[in-house]
Amino acid sequence: MALSFAPPAERSVALHVIAKPDLQAWLAEQPDHVAAWVNSNEFTGALGQALLLPGADGTPVAAIAGYGTESTRVRKRFPLASAAEKLPQGSYQIVSGLPDSVREMECLGWLLSGYSFDRYASQTPSQAALVAPEGLDAARIEAMAAAEALTRDLVNTPAADMGPDQLQKAAEDLAQRFGATCDVTLGDALLKDNFPVIHAVGRAAAQVPRLIEVNWGSKGPKLTLVGKGVCFDTGGLDLKPASAMGLMKKDMGGAANVLGLAHMIMALDLPVQLRVLIPAVENAVAGNAFRPGDILTARNGLTVEINNTDAEGRLVLADALALAEEARPDLLISMATLTGAARVAVGPDLAPFFASDDQMAQIVHRAGNQTADPVWQMPFHTPYEAMIEPGIADLDNAPSGGFAGSITAALFLRRFVGECRYLHFDIYSWQRTKEPGRSKGGLGQGPRALLAALPEILEL
């Protein structure tokens, strides 16, 4: 699906963006017949309203989009998309009313409002097209929209069509598009190459476990992205109830998000040495599934007591993070749909993250606000380390008690990154109800914030 700007054309409809408090002043400058048309159609400038203005022959000569009030706009991620979704098919060019400070965000929202997951649909809705405003970095906006569409498509695809095989193919296709390399460690080769925990978690599935590695770029700082690729999570032998299993096709959302971020980095040709690591597995149930009470030894030698097979995401990430740490990257980032505790803490709309230093965290938080990709820092609270130390092994994959679940999971992962500068995102990657620019279903959380933050972080 191409989410791109329309080329400039003589037949583009001029679009005026009108905030509710500004409507009367705008009408005062219009011909009487325009004011009469606007009033007769009960257009008030409320957020989400859209209206074509016909000429003498009835063909549209302009359009207006309601931009509401400041108090209504702050409740929406992409306010202008509310109106974009109501305009009839055609090409539109914004000529007035959109503040420069939000132009990039609103144009991105417009493009994203055209997304639909159409793999299994016989019909898809039409979309009003937008001509890129003059001076806008259209290529950057289009790269962000394409990356978001990739992430959403991957997360939305059912596990029957998005298992480890298909996730590998998605990574290979992305690598081929941008001239990157893609290498895969498959099945029992994981044991030979010392990825024992990835193998243990995924060995019960019909599609064998694997570690996918993409490399791109030969100059600049070393940036490594690690994404959780659990393509479906039954919970393993600690089986989830049906109510908790229904959305588990999205448990590879971390992988989908790092592939989206990698897409933007490569499309925009950022000066970094990019490495993407995705442990891709299905947490299935079979006679050879790993068990509660088992003790696994990870790549870096740490032992892990399995107290719940449904806490498998941190396990597969452990081997991948240990591999990443061996190369001493300048920045290491992991993304995962890791804990329900993160949703309890901040809800579904914020992406909680952990940072190895507060300066990085401040940069990421600021970038999230600037890119309509809100994030919130959570603490690596070291006193909780005792909660992940069971005594019988070095680490416990599922501490009892229910407290600080997102923090203890992040502390678990931190044991595998050494002294690397590290950011970990515990994301939801799902939009529960349709919102302007955000269709119900798979969602990117964090990649735009990271894209904006990376240049400043890598200069620290």
- Which residues are annotated as catalytic? 240, 314
- Phi/psi of residue 248, nearest 5 degrees: -75, 0
117 residue type, one letter: F
Helix (H, G, I), strand (E, B) or coil at 194: coil
- d(Cα 107, Cα 17) in Å, to the nearest integer? 12
72: exposed, middle or buried (C-beta count within 10 Å: 0-12, 13-18, 19+)? middle
Number of C-alpha atoms within 13 angstroms, CB side, residue 427? Answer: 33
Contact 51, 15 (CB under 8 A): no
Token digits of residue 24: 């009367």
How would DSSP label each residue in 209-274?
PEEEEEEE-SSS-EEEEEE-EEEEE--TTSPPPHHHHTTGGGGGHHHHHHHHHHHHHHHTT-SSEE
DSSP H or E run through 62: strand 60-66
Residue type, 439: S
The span from the CA of 285 to the CA of 403, in Å, is 28
Inter-residue contact 151 to 259 (CB < 8 Å): yes
Identity of residue 118: D
d(CA 304, CA 322): 14
Spatial distance between the Cα atoms of 143 and 268, rounded to a whole number of angstroms: 7
> SS3 of 141, please?
helix
Q: How would you class 286 by CB atoms within 10 Å of its CB: exposed for 0-12, middle for 13-18, buried for 19 or more?
A: exposed
CA distance 429 to 407: 19
- Where on the phi/psi map is residue 361: left (φ > 0), alpha (ψ -120 to 50), or beta? alpha
C-beta of residue 327 within 8 angstroms of C-beta of residue 224: yes
Q: Which helix (H) or strand (E) holds 410?
A: helix 405-414
